[in-house]
């Protein structure tokens, strides 16, 4: 008798759990969920874009260098092994 009651209770619990977890397919709810997710993605993209633009604006204000001026005595040339270095390259500066 005990085994019969335990078996009946176990079947009842399993049947109740299966029935409560089975929800009917609702295409409208699925579409709404897709729209919510798309809106969330769009908000995240906009937030990232705003942060990137904010960083660029800050960088523009921070960087105020003039045009590049090469050091005195600088000349572009190809070096080969054995050539002596000019004096400007041998200084401590």
Residue-level pLDDT, tens digit, the chain, 93 residues: 777 678 777 777 776 655 555 567 888 888 999 999 999 999 999 999 888 887 777 766 666 677 888 888 787 878 899 988 877 777 776
Q: Strands of 31-85 (E only): list them.
A: none
Is the distance from CB of 73 to CB of 86 less than 8 angstroms?
A: yes
The model scores a pTM over 0.75: no
Render the burial of 57-77: b for 16+ CB within 10 Å, e for the rest.
eeeeeeeeeeeeeeeeeeeee
Name the token pair of 68: 């590049």
């Amino acid at each position: 008798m005990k085994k019969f009651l335990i078996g009946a209770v176990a079947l009842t619990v399993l049947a109740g759990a299966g029935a409560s977890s089975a929800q009917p397919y609702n295409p409208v709810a699925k579409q709404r969920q897709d729209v919510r997710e798309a809106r969330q993605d769009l908000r995240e993209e906009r937030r990232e874009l705003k942060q990137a633009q904010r960083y660029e604006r800050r960088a523009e204000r921070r960087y105020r260098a003039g045009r590049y001026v090469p050091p005195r005595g600088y000349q572009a040339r190809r070096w080969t092994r054995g050539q002596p270095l000019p004096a400007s390259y041998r200084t401590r500066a």
